[in-house]
Structures are given as C-alpha cells and as structure tokens.
A and B are shown apart, each in its own frame.
Chain A
Amino acid sequence: MLGTLVPLSAFADASPLEYVGGAVLAAAADSVTIPVNPVYTMLFIEFYGINDGNAKSLYLRFNGDSTSTTYSYQSINATSTTIAGARTTGANQIVLSADTLDASVWQEFTAICVKSTAGTAGQVLVQSAYDPAATIKLELDGAQWGNTSAPFTSVSVVASSNNLAAGTTIAVYGLRG
C-alpha cells in the first residue's frame, strides 16, 4: 500500500524521510558522488558496492572535502572471535573498512549523518559488512567531519585505489529540520 504523500509545506521545520538521490554505476568508476540539497540536516546512506582490484578501502567524504584533515573516526571491528577497536584522527576521509578489500569483494554499509546546526561538526554513524579474503567482517564506526561552517552539499564514496565496479549502488535519503 502506498502511503499518502504529505506536501512539505505541512512541515515548516521538518520533513518526512525523502529520497535525496542515488546511483547505480553502469561502468567502473573511482568514486560516486550524490549532490545533497543543504536543507537536509540528516542523511541516511545505503551503499552496496564491489571492488575491481585488490588492496583498497572505501572512503566516505562530504562536500568534496579531501584535504582538510578534518575527519576522525572510531571503529569496532569483528572477525571470527576477534574484536578490535581503533581510532584515527586528522584524516582526509572516513575509512569504512579497517581491512583492505580484495577484488570482487562486496561491501555493504548504512550510514546516519547529522549536522544539526551551523557551528557544529558533521557526525556520522556507520554499520558495515564486508568479506575480505572470504573472512566476513562486521564493523561499526562513529565518525566526525570537523567542518563547522558548511551544511551537507554532497556525499562521496571513494575507492582508495582501483575502481568501484559496475553495479555498485548507492541511495541517499534525507530529513530536514
């Protein structure tokens, strides 16, 4: 059953969960970027991708910001009976896999990104699953994008090397407020 679409005017300072944008790669690419209307203060990202080469990780970036070393992240990574934590600060991106990925390995993640007001940093919560060398891994990341002046205007998933293969899929939803 399809619900009734409520006009956004009914929510002067909030909105329903809206589809912001998405992509399915028809050909391999080193990254995928989804433009974001800056009215959205919360982004929900769903990503399902595959690598076309070895020894790489997935990066998450906002607003094309790759130079300001404003990212930091804390991860919990579980593989078999081993659970590990790690924190990285002053990075150029949020690295979404503690382990590098091999070719033909899929990684799925969902991310909640909130930047509630001017003057605050962007904050991110990521849950991901991936399968490097046939050893499935579970990862939970908390992260921060230290830019305090700009709202979200785009989100990018970037391969650290090689490419994201054709079929890689991303969808971004948003909430205003």
Chain B
Amino acid sequence: MPQALPRYQRKPRVIGRPSGLAQDAIGNGWTLLGYKRLGTAAASITFPFPTGFKELWLICQIIKATSGTVGLTINADGGTDYDKQYLLGNSTGVTGARATGQTSIVLAGSQAIPDAGAGLYSIRVTKELAGAKALVSAGCAVFADLATDALVVSGDAGIWSNTADLMTSVTLTASAGNLAANSVFWLLGSL
C-alpha cells in the first residue's frame, strides 16, 4: 500500500478565492501549496510545488533554540545567484544594506534569531515568466525572546537571478542550529 505523501508534498488544491483585497489581481485565489508544523527540529524545510505557480506567499513563525539567521533559496539553487536589499529598524536606529552574489537571501535584514527567540516572516516571491528573474519582497520581525519585548523589524527585497527556470520549490535554511519544533509554515501560491 503506497505511503501517503507528507502534507506539503501532496498535489495542491485550488481552494477558491477569498473575497476582498486578498484575491489575486488577475482573478485567481490563493492555493495552499504546503503546510508544516515541525514536530522535531530540522536544519531546513523545503516546499516543492508545480511550475504553474508564479507567485508565492510564505508565512512562517520560526522558533530557534540556537541563534542563527534564516536564508531563502529557490529550486535548491545554492549558487551565488541572489541579491538582496534590506531596511532594518532596531529601536531608534534604521539601517539599510545591499549584498549581491549571495548563496541565499538571508531574511530579516540578516538579523539572527537569538537563542530561544522567534521570527515572523511574510515573504512574497514572484517569477512570472521563464527568462525573468524572481523577485522577493518580505516583511520580517525578529523577537529576542518569546517572553520578552526586544524586537526588530525589517523590509527585505531580493532577486534570484536564474532566468532559465520557473520556480519548483522554495527552501528555508537555518544558518546555525535548527529550526525548532513548533515552527510553523504556510505556503500559498497563485497562478
């Protein structure tokens, strides 16, 4: 008897379009492509999906036992194919930086989630056509500790310079330590 695929690998389902502004401008709704709540710690998580989805929306709350940043890659491409620009607010300080030729898009203004901290990420990725680069737009908030008040917020932009391929998967990877248990991820897609 064949074993059921993990939930995030099952065939995506079109789940209707919500009313209001949440619907895609061209009329398609958001399809839930993947969901995962980590039962045990993992160094990374990958969501594969069919090539028809040109816009992705990844929402996640990542808990960390050990301090580290979180990087995003597309199609398991670990080459130096990513550029990024961020704006980071930390108390009264606001800083920005750009980095090119990176092996991933490190999120939250390259801010590490501290020990026992958490990060909230809302990441949009768009690659409309083969021949075009993928554009990433993210808002991130990193909390020093779930029980304390210290936090930073960032706006992040990124580019995946691969122009040959349409997107087939997205991966989040911890730079150090693991993504802790009870980290939760939703991946939505629009055609």
B28 touches A175 (CB 8 A): no
Q: Does B98 contact A (CB under 8 A)?
A: no
Taking the complex as formed, is B139 at the interface, i.e. its CB lies under 8 A from any CB of chain A?
Answer: yes
Do B15 and A16 have beta carbons less than 8 Å apart?
yes
Among A4-12, A25-33, A53-61, the one that faces the other chain is: A4-12
Residue numbers in B under 8 Å from A42 (CB-CB)? 59, 184, 186
A14 to B8 CA separation, bound complex (whole angstroms): 10
Number of residues from B at the complex interface, CB < 8 A:
50
Task: Flag if B183 contacts A116 (CB, 8 Å).
Answer: yes
Q: Residue A85 contacts which of B17, B92, B182 (CB distance < 8 angstroms)?
A: B92
What is the CA–CA distance of A5 and B30 in the complex, to the nearest angstrom? 12
A55-89 near B? 1/0 per residue, CB < 8 Å: 00000000000000000111110000001111101
Within 8 A of A (CB), among B1-60: 7, 13-22, 27-32, 35, 37, 59
- Chain A residues, CB < 8 A from B94: 76, 83-85
Bound complex: CA of A111 vs CA of B154, how far in Å?
Answer: 14
Chain A 95-125: CB-based contact to B (< 8 A → 1; otherwise 0): 0000000000000000010101101110111
Q: Is A46 an interface residue (CB 8 A)?
A: yes
A146 to B146: give the CA distance in the assembly, Å: 8
Contact present for A74 and B141 (CB under 8 Å): yes
Binds A, one of B70-78, B83-91, B99-107, B168-176: B83-91
**In the complex, are the beta carbons of B149 and A72 less than 8 A apart?**
yes
* Given A76-B87, A87-B151, A125-B141, A171 and B59 contact (CB-CB distance below 8 Å): no
A90 to B150 alpha-carbon distance, docked (Å): 11
Q: State how many residues of chain A have any CB contact under 8 Å with chain B.
A: 54
B134 interface residue per 8 A CB criterion: no
B residues less than 8 Å from A121 (CB atoms): 143, 146-147
Q: Which chain A residue lies CB-closest to B32? A: A16
Q: For the complex, is A141 an interface residue (Cβ under 8 Å from B)?
A: yes
- Is A168 engaged at the interface, CB distance under 8 Å to the other chain? no
The answer to whether B22 and A171 have CB atoms under 8 Å apart is yes
What separation, in Å, do the CA atoms of A75 and B87 have in the docked complex? 11
Q: Please list the residues of chain A having a beta carbon within 8 angstroms of any beta carbon in chain B.
A: 1-6, 10-11, 13-19, 22, 41-42, 44, 46, 72-76, 83-87, 89-90, 112, 114, 116-117, 119-121, 123-125, 127, 140-144, 146, 148, 171, 173, 175, 177
Interface residues of B (CB under 8 A from A): 7, 13-22, 27-32, 35, 37, 59, 61, 63, 87, 89-94, 118, 120, 122, 139-143, 146-147, 149, 151-155, 182-184, 186, 188
Question: Given A1-B27, A16-B32, list of 14 further CB < 8 A pairs?
Answer: A4-B13, A10-B13, A13-B37, A19-B19, A44-B22, A72-B151, A74-B89, A84-B92, A120-B146, A121-B147, A140-B87, A142-B89, A142-B143, A144-B143
7 A-B pairs, CB-CB below 8 angstroms?
Answer: A13-B35, A19-B19, A114-B59, A116-B63, A125-B120, A142-B140, A142-B143
9 tightest A-B CB contacts, nearest first = A142-B141, A16-B15, A142-B153, A14-B35, A3-B14, A72-B149, A76-B89, A89-B149, A85-B89
